[in-house]
Amino acid sequence: MAAHTNTQYSREQRWSLHGMTALVTGGTKGIGYAIVEELAGLGATVYTCSRNEVQLNECLHEWEKKGFQVSGSVCDVASETDRNELANKVSSFFDGKLNILINNVGTNIWKPTVEYTTGDFSFLMKTNLESAYHMCQLAHPLLKASGAANIVFISSVAGVVLLDTGSIYAATKDVNCY
Ligand SMILES: NC(=O)c1ccc[n+]([C@@H]2O[C@H](COP(=O)([O-])OP(=O)(O)OC[C@H]3O[C@@H](n4cnc5c(N)ncnc54)[C@H](OP(=O)(O)O)[C@@H]3O)[C@@H](O)[C@H]2O)c1
């Protein structure tokens, strides 16, 4: 009896995100950039954001040349107003439905704990943790409407074991927060 295995299908047929929509925060550099490329390469339509408009437009242009379906807008995810605007733009762009939310933005200020200021604490909490939490709340109706949704948090090993990353960053990356 001939076995019907997946090997007869191409990678594209086995792993496809065609028809899927994704929001990736902080997609212009580093891990976020790689995630945008991977999702778009698998056929998803991706929306991303960053604070630097020039760099964002350069990335969008590159992705267009590669044939990827990627759009985006400027947003500082540490700002509640910006997050609300981002969610509205994403909702309009994807017609109220979102399959994948990737909370990627994260940053760090390294200091010994006794030297952190309340401003440092607030900045890191807003950028790394509050933004991801609020983006989930804002995206919730869009994710529900899509009928097939996933949320990914880009955490860090610093949230699991003691590393010399600074205590505030470690707290924002504690996997129990999510
Ligand atoms: N790199 C590592 O070794 C490592 C290890 C473990 C976990 N992580 C986690 O992985 C994630 C990505 O790290 P990365 O190293 O790839 O970062 P990165 O290279 O610094 O890139 C960060 C991206 O997010 C954007 N961004 C930063 N702050 C933003 C804000 N307030 N609002 C909107 N966009 C913002 C940046 O663009 P603009 O600056 O133009 O806004 C950029 O596109 C973070 O959550 C980090 O904690 C990283």
Q: What is the pLDDT of residues 19-32, one digit of tens each?
A: 999 999 999 999 99
* Pocket lining: 84 vs ligand 1, CB cutoff 6 Å: no
Q: Coil, strand, or helix at residue 133? A: helix
Using a pLDDT cut of 90, give the percent of the chain over it. 87
In the chain, where the domains are located: 17-177
Does ligand 1 come within 6 angstroms of the Cβ of 106?
yes
CATH superfamily, region 17-177: NAD(P)-binding Rossmann-like Domain (3.40.50.720)
Number of neighbouring beta carbons within 10 Å of residue 79: 15
pLDDT for 77 = 98
What is the pLDDT at residue 2?
A: 45
CA of 27 to the centre of ligand 1 (A): 8
Containing H/E element for 24? strand 21-25
Mean pLDDT (the chain, rounded): 94
Residue showing tokens 């949704």? 149
Tens digits of per-residue pLDDT, 113-168? Answer: 999 999 999 999 999 999 999 999 999 999 999 999 999 999 999 999 989 999 99
Q: What is the mean pLDDT of residues 42-47?
A: 98
Q: With H, G, I as helix, E, B as strand and everything else as coil, classify residue 45.
A: strand
Cα 32 to middle of ligand 1, angstroms = 7
Mutate to test the pocket of ligand 1, among 31, 63, 109, 129 (most ligand atoms within 8 A of CB): 31
